[in-house]
Structures are given as structure tokens and as C-alpha cells.
Amino acid sequence: MRSREHIKRSVACVILSGGSSTRMGKPKALLPYKGSTFVEKLIADYAEIGCDPIVVVVGEHAESIQPFINKSGVITAVNYHPEEGQLSSLKIGLTVLSREHAGFFFTLVDHPAVKVETLREILSAWDGNPQTVVRPRYDNRGGHPVLLGKNWIEKTLHLSDSSNMRLALKENSEYIIELPVSDAGIIVNVDTPEDYTNLINTDC
């Protein structure tokens, strides 16, 4: 029987970067942040806590993002129909994973401000149960990333196209650990140039 610590070392991460970034006017994944780019910082942060593999799902801007994610341990998955929404990108990312993975983080590329310490806190709060979900909360608001046990791989892949993860989690609330954190970065969502300006001028 695998130990709880061994299970936690077999957690993957799926980073969704398939959107068109219409409101930003440029790929959000490549915005500079703390000496790196959004996508590179996220990859480094999840690698630091031991996630393997790290899957980056790209879409419309795949060609421009690809050179920034050619790193060992990072897998690129392409969503050729990103207009179908975030769930479609998450499903594509999850097809890379296997039942050997005990669970997975999923996050959006426009949430780069989460502290590594918070990622460790989320991982520590997880009980290793394949059904369990850990969702961080700041100021009574849920945010990203979310950590889900391995049963959610198949469960997510079988969600209807009209569904979404928010609804799926609501329907399975008995499995959710709501984790209060002190990190405002979990609710920082960068969609517009104004959001980006606020981010770089604020220490989350």
C-alpha cells in the first residue's frame, strides 16, 4: 500500500492556456511577471512542489507560447477548438494523465500570483482520497488552483459539453475540503490590461 506522502508525490498539474486573450490583446501566458512570464512562473512553481507531469493546454496562440514551455517534464496539449470553453481544454489536458496519477491540480494561466507556499498548503490539506477535492478560499471567495483526486480524471472526461467544473463541484460538494488561505493570489484573475497593471503594482 502506498504511503500518503508517496501518493502526494504522484500529483500532476494541468495549466489551461487555450483562450484567445481577446480582452488583453496579447497572449496572457507570455505577459512578463516577476522576471519570467505567466506560464513559465506557473511551470516553475508546480515543478517546485513536485508535480509530474505538468501539462500546458494551448489553443489559438500555441505557436507563440510553445517556445516558452519546451522544458523537461512539461507536456504540451493542443486544443484545436478553444472556443468550446475551459472544460474542453481541461478534458484535453486530462487525456495525458493515467490512473497512476493520484490526483491533479488544475489552474488557469491568468492566475499567476499564487504563492508556492499556498500550493504546498493545498497539497498538505489533501487526504489522498481519490474522490476528495481541495479548493482554497480567500476572503470567503473560492479561487485557483483546485486539487482533485484521481477519480476526477474520468469523472471530468465524462462531463457533458454543456456542463462545467463549477457545476460539477457543486453537485459533489460532500467531497470538497474548503481551505481558508491567507494568499489573495488565489483570486487574482488577469483578463484585461487594467488587471495586469493592478497585478504588477500590487504585492499579493
> What are the Cα distances from residue 67, in Å, to 3, 143, 166, 203?
37, 28, 32, 28
* The overall pTM is greater than 0.85: yes
Coil, helix or strand at residue 42:
helix
- At residue 4, the pLDDT reads 55
Asked if 147 contacts 103 with a C-beta cutoff of 8 angstroms, the reply is yes
Fold observed for domain 4-200: Spore Coat Polysaccharide Biosynthesis Protein SpsA; Chain A (3.90.550)
Give the integer Cα–Cα distance in Å for 33 and 42: 10
- At residue 203, the pLDDT reads 66
Terminal CA-CA length for the chain = 40
Strand partners, 146: 106
Proportion of the chain in helix, strand, coil states, percent, rounded to 5: 35, 20, 40
Q: Which amino acid makes up residue 111?
A: H
- At residue 141, the pLDDT reads 94
- Report CA Rg, the chain: 16
The phi and psi torsions of 102 (rounded to 5 degrees) equal -75, -20
Q: What is the pLDDT along the chain (204 residues), one digit of tens a residue?
A: 455 555 555 899 999 997 767 778 788 999 999 999 999 999 999 999 999 999 999 988 888 888 888 776 799 999 999 888 899 999 999 998 877 789 999 999 999 999 999 999 999 999 889 999 999 999 999 999 999 999 999 999 999 988 899 999 999 999 999 999 999 999 999 989 999 999 998 866
Give the integer Cα–Cα distance in Å for 99 and 188: 32
Give the integer Cα–Cα distance in Å for 55 and 102: 15
Strand partners, 179: 136
Long-range contacts of 2-9 (CB under 8 A, 24+ apart): 2/102, 4/127, 4/128, 7/102, 7/103, 7/128, 8/50, 8/102, 8/123, 8/126, 8/128, 9/50
